[in-house]
Amino acid sequence: MNYRHAFHAGNFADVLKHVVLALCFEHLKAKPKPFRYIDTHSGIGQYDLTSDEARRSPEFEDGITRVLAADKPDDVAAILKPFLHAVAASNPGEALTAYPGSPQVAESLLRDTDRIQLCELHPADAKTLDQRYAKDRRVKVEARDGYKALSAIVPPVEKRGLVLIDPPFEHRDEMAFMAEAAMNGINRWPTGTFIFWRPLKDLWAQERFDVGLTEWLIAEKQIEPEKILRADLWVRELETEGKLAGAGVVVVNPPYTLEDNLVTLLPWLCEVLKQDDGAGWRVDGGIAEDSLLVDEF
């Protein structure tokens, strides 16, 4: 699976990932002490929805465009508020012309005292990222492998914050690489919040990652099951071939409010973003080896 992000910016997977990220930021901001955001696969920070890449595959039209146009109940609107603030900050005009990647979501939501550390291995993307944030003293950009960097940069001096691991899944063993990074990072910073994005493509590999990480956290790190949360969304029947139909996150040390917020949000989000009757969602804490998606697939 090759997931060069310029072709997919603003799709359903981005919406879910960035809603979760924004909610985690808001929880961390509830306390005055500064925190650090670490992004291991940062991309270019923000994506031009008028570009040839975006127009060639306008997945944002079935993602963020639908969310912006939909009627929102009060409870849903409250949950979406920080994420939609980030989207609005990237679009000062009336038209939707840009979509904020994870670095830009952070840039628009974090305080002056918080810090942002971005890793990007792709040379051209790293240069673009560095130029974008050159004048923001809160942001440090490193042109390096985020997996390898992680063990060197956690825990941060602030002792508070979160890590997003959102690789492009260009390698067949990406789940294994992410699992190794997860164990290395959490070993060094067991109190940090970690968000792991993964596609629902190779469901067996995805389930092995989810359940294996959970079992390791409980057995080796003595982390309570309620401190592990999974949230997935699929907009049509899951298939191994063709365009991505489902994706989601595993969150270690999530905010205590995150599960309830996602249980409220995801039924609405699924209805707004669904592309056929095979669409669905799940939110579960203390991930059990029920393998529901694998059995159905």
What span, in angstroms and rounded, lies between the C-alpha atoms of 129 and 131? Answer: 5
174, 205 in Cβ contact below 8 A?
A: no
Sheet holding 193-199, edge to edge: 139-142, 115-119, 36-39, 161-165, 193-199, 246-252, 228-234, 280-285
Residues of the chain by 3-state class (helix, strand, coil), percent to 5: 45, 15, 40
Instruction: For residues 151-175, give the mean pLDDT.
Output: 94
Question: Who has greater pLDDT, 150 or 293?
Answer: 150
- Amino acid sitting at position 112: D
Any idea what DSSP says for residue 283? Answer: E
Instruction: Please check the confidence at residue 208 and state whether its pLDDT lies above 80.
Output: yes
**Domain spans of the chain?**
5-296
What span, in angstroms and rounded, lies between the C-alpha atoms of 73 and 196? Answer: 29
What span, in angstroms and rounded, lies between the C-alpha atoms of 289 and 138? Answer: 41
User: pLDDT for 30-85, tens place per residue?
Assistant: 999 999 999 999 999 999 999 877 777 789 999 999 999 999 999 999 999 999 99
67, 13 in Cβ contact below 8 A?
A: no
- Spell out the residues 6+ positions from residue 259 whose beta carbon is closer than 8 angstroms to its own: 229, 283, 285
Q: Are strands 161-165 and 228-234 parallel, antiparallel or unpaired?
A: unpaired
36, 119 in Cβ contact below 8 A?
A: no
Q: Are strands 246-252 and 280-285 parallel, antiparallel or unpaired?
A: unpaired
Instruction: Please check the confidence at residue 123 and state whether its pLDDT lies above 80.
Output: yes
At residue 1, the pLDDT reads 40
Q: Among all residues, which ones are annotated catalytic?
A: 166
At residue 53, the pLDDT reads 76
Residue 251, CA atoms < 13 Å, CB-side half-sphere: 30
pTM of the model: 0.94
CATH number given to 5-296: 3.40.50.150
Residue 287: band (very low, low, confident or very high) from pLDDT cuts 50, 70, 90 = confident
**Quick check: helix, strand or coil at residue 196?**
strand
Instruction: For the chain, give the percent of residues with pLDDT over 70.
Output: 94
Quick one: which H or E segment has residue 273?
helix 258-273
Other beta carbons less than 10 A from residue 290's beta carbon: 12
**What is the CA angle 8-13-19, rounded to 5?**
120
Residue 2: band (very low, low, confident or very high) from pLDDT cuts 50, 70, 90 = very low
209, 178 in Cβ contact below 8 A?
A: yes
- Amino acid sitting at position 241: E
